[in-house]
Structure 1
Amino acid sequence: MITIITTAFVWLVSIAEAIILSVMSFFAVILMLWTFTMAGISADENGQQLYCETSKTGVENCFMREWSIVD
């Protein structure tokens, strides 16, 4: 009897794990597609990115510059 209960529990846990991993994979793919789309929209053909900064007076200044990891 204990074997049947243990087997059923393992089976239910594996089904729950498969469902959770499927949902997480779906959201990961959506996030990846969104990231690639936004990178394509904000970059030009020279590999520069659009940066916008707000000055102390509240004016937003946008310009193109090359992406750097140290920024």
Structure 2
Amino acid sequence: MQFAERTRARNGALSHVDLTLLRMGPLRPAWGLSGYTTPLDGLFLGGAGSHPGGGVSGLPGKLSSSRVDRYLAKRSR
């Protein structure tokens, strides 16, 4: 059984996006969507496609929640 079939990962992408230089580090998951924010006000990204990537670390969610906290604090002023 292939990796993609075993994990049900579309096209075998365990880390959600392809691992190219234009989708790594602060550019993850794509240009204009890094920093856990999106063009839609109040919509944030915090999954395996966000920096620093998938795995068991939980860091994408933790870092995204920090961004959400700052957003909510700014709105309440």
Tell whether the structures are fold-level matches, with TM greater than 0.5: no
Length-normalised TM-score, structure 1: 0.32
Larger RCO, structures 1/2 (Cα 8 Å, 6+ apart):
2
Length-normalised TM-score, structure 2: 0.29
Larger Rg: 1
Structure with greater helix share of residues: 1
